[in-house]
Amino acid sequence: MSLGLGVAQLAAPDRVRRMSGVDDSATSRAVVPLVGARELVHAAGLLRSRRKSVWAWTRVVGDAMDLTALGMALAHRGGRRRRRLLAVTGAVAGITVLDLLTAVQATRAGKVAAVPSMGSTPEGVSMTMSSRVRRDRR
């Protein structure tokens, strides 16, 4: 998701601003490409790093920044632009929930994977399991 958002915000910032209901101020012309660049940094980190949980949390922080900026924009908008901003804010809130769940899950998975194991290999952890069923012989 970060890759797509980042490319869109850098390749077509005017279209992104128009679709989202953000105005054409000097601030928004500067912020949209910066947010796009931040999204590309998240994408690179998530795709290349072994520490996925750290990068997942950076997305959550970025989402909080986006929601703050959208909230400030909502305070100064009316009409169609306000409706667009409300829709975008709702979408970002939904993405934030998904990012938060992903970050929590990645953190938990990282803690489990960090436990030393006798059967660990560079490819992962190998495990063998067996069970014995006892039954009475009558």
Note the pLDDT tens digit of each residue in 52-75: 889 899 999 999 999 998 998 888
Instruction: Let me know if residue 94 belongs to a domain.
Output: yes
Residue 37 lies inside a defined structural domain of this protein:
yes
Confidence band of 7 (pLDDT split at 50, 70, 90): very high
In a domain, 130, yes or no: no
Rg (alpha carbons) of the chain, rounded to whole number: 22
Is the Cα dihedral 86, 68, 40, 47 positive or negative? negative
Share of the chain above pLDDT 90, in %: 39
Range of the domain at 43: 2-113
Q: How many domains does the chain have?
A: 1
pLDDT in tens, 35-53: 999 999 988 988 888 888 8
Would 31 be classed as within a structural domain?
Answer: yes
Whether residue 109 contacts residue 53, with contact meaning beta carbons closer than 8 Å, is answered with: yes
Position 39 in a domain = yes
67 assigned to some structural domain: yes
**Residue of higher predicted confidence among 118 and 134:** 134
Q: How far apart are CA 54 and CA 47, in angstroms?
A: 12
In a domain, 99, yes or no: yes
DSSP H stretches of helix in 1-138 = 2-11, 13-20, 26-48, 52-74, 79-113
Question: Which pTM does this prediction carry?
Answer: 0.71
Residue with tokens 């769940």: 101
Quote the tokens at residue 99: 């990012």
